[in-house]
Amino acid sequence: MPAESRLAFAVTPNAAPVAANARSERLVDPGFGRVFTDHMAVVRFSDEKAWHDARITARAPLTIDPASSVLHYAQEIFEGMKAYRLEDGGTALFRPTANARRFQDSARRLAMPELPEAIFMESIERLVAIDREWIPQSDGGALYLRPFMFASEVFLGVKPASEYLYMVIASSVGAYFKGGAPAVSIWVSQDYSRAARGGTGAAKCGGNYAASLVAQAEAIRQGCDQVVFLDAVERRYVEELGGMNVFFVFDDGSLATPALTGTILPGITRDSLLTLARDQGLTVREQPYAIDQWRADAASGRLVEAFACGTAAVVTPIGRVASPEGSFTIGDGGPGATTMRLREALVAIQRGQAPDAHGWLHRLAG
């Protein structure tokens, strides 16, 4: 292994961590993305020194130069993954090397340096080890890890930067949707596209989310929880939600999900559910599915369930779909049996309650 693909992390514990009782209070009902831990991981990159200066330190604000190129040209990528408390008291990550690889794929697309998998893994493992007490005990609680990297070079020319900061922060989380959301409603965006062929749709870069916000805000105005995007060419085929992949369940027991054509994010939850569905003997197709077909199939009863999936959302039933052309309900508007069976199968593995037949759990020491 080349020297730079591993680094020694200097660990400096937070001198003033949150007191245990204050932390417990924050963990009672953390919501999503508002409660942060005591530490963060930082690694620097420069063309000259490659990866260097790996640290675990107290979580603190950054000071960055106003000409840092990320602030102007948005050269930024991120990941989202969770550390779970297991039934037996241990702690584990779920398929973390898949996140490491996707982070490298995103980096290549954004003309950024690829972080070696060993450094990615060590940054995560060390951060979880030092902030383990922040993993909520509650059902459905987890420590959400947010690795990210941005261009820190101070330069206004438009080119790939020569300096980057890679960091990981951690957030104690409960359910992504308020109240656990038995079923969510989604708004079909007709005016906005998320991604086009040749664009950055398959990369997890901040710019994709910036571009989705006006459509997500419209969804909220329309009384929906999330936006769903259609393909940018024909504006017919369902792609994905603002922050989740989508699955359809039919009355013959089969499932479908949009194929990875380069415009949607290759979700790790999506991939895991494809495998679990096949394990359960279900037929799964990766294929285009048009919004008109969705409406017609919901009306005829051929489509019986639909759900969104992702690290943050886990598996969340979709109960209602709305668009300027009117709205339609899926099934009885509540969680469907196939959706919930898949959700339970996934969560049981993540919590160490079911055999890990595919070797997806990455147990952490201690």
Binding positions for ligand PLP, rule: CB under 6 A = 80, 240, 243-245, 265, 267-270, 310-311
Q: Which is nearer to ligand COI, 125 or 225 (CB)?
A: 225
Going by C-alpha positions, the residue among 196, 214, 189 that lies closest to residue 291 is: 189
Min CB(189)–ligand COI separation in Å: 16
Asked whether the beta carbons of 305 and 319 are under 8 A apart, the reply is no
Q: Which is nearer to ligand PLP, 54 or 246 (CB)?
A: 246
Distances (CA, A) of 114 to 36, 102, 147, 287: 26, 10, 13, 31
Q: Which is nearer to ligand COI, 56 or 227 (CB)?
A: 227
Indicate the residue whose CB is closest to ligand COI. 80
Q: Which is nearer to ligand PLP, 54 or 345 (CB)?
A: 345
Contact residues for ligand COI, defined by CB under 6 A: 80, 243, 310-312
Q: Which is nearer to ligand COI, 33 or 199 (CB)?
A: 33
Q: Which is nearer to ligand COI, 146 or 235 (CB)?
A: 146
* Paired sense of beta strands 76-78 and 142-151, if any: antiparallel
Min CB(181)–ligand PLP separation in Å: 16
Asked whether the beta carbons of 82 and 142 are under 8 A apart, the reply is yes
Q: Which does 149 bind (CB under 5 to 8 A by kind): ligand PLP, ligand COI, none?
A: none
Pairwise CA distance, residues 70 & 337, whole Å: 45
Q: Which does 174 bind (CB under 5 to 8 A by kind): ligand COI, ligand PLP, none?
A: none
Residues near 340 by beta carbon (within 8 Å), at least 6 away in sequence: 315, 317
Min CB(175)–ligand COI separation in Å: 12
Q: Which does 265 bind (CB under 5 to 8 A by kind): ligand COI, ligand PLP, none?
A: ligand PLP
Going by C-alpha positions, the residue among 281, 299, 296, 277 that lies closest to residue 344 is: 277
Min CB(81)–ligand PLP separation in Å: 7
Which residue bears the tokens 């679990």? 276
Min CB(141)–ligand PLP separation in Å: 17
Q: Which is nearer to ligand COI, 175 or 303 (CB)?
A: 175
Which residue bears the tokens 């069976």? 341
Tokens of 220: 């909220």
Residues near 230 by beta carbon (within 8 Å), at least 6 away in sequence: 188, 189, 190, 193, 236, 237, 238, 239, 291
Q: Which does 270 bind (CB under 5 to 8 A by kind): ligand COI, ligand PLP, none?
A: ligand PLP
Min CB(307)–ligand COI separation in Å: 14
Q: Which is nearer to ligand PLP, 269 or 339 (CB)?
A: 269
HEC per residue, 252-307: CCCEEECCCCCCCCCCHHHHHHHHHHHHCCCCEEECCCEHHHHHHHHHHCCEEEEE
Min CB(331)–ligand COI separation in Å: 24
Tell me the backbone φ, ψ of residue 2, rounded to 5 degrees. Answer: -60, 150
Pairwise CA distance, residues 340 & 336, whole Å: 6
Min CB(61)–ligand COI separation in Å: 22
Tokens of 305: 């369930």
What's the N-to-C CA distance of the chain in angstroms?
A: 27
Q: Which does 68 bind (CB under 5 to 8 A by kind): ligand PLP, ligand COI, none?
A: none
Tell me the backbone φ, ψ of residue 43, rounded to 5 degrees. Answer: -135, 140
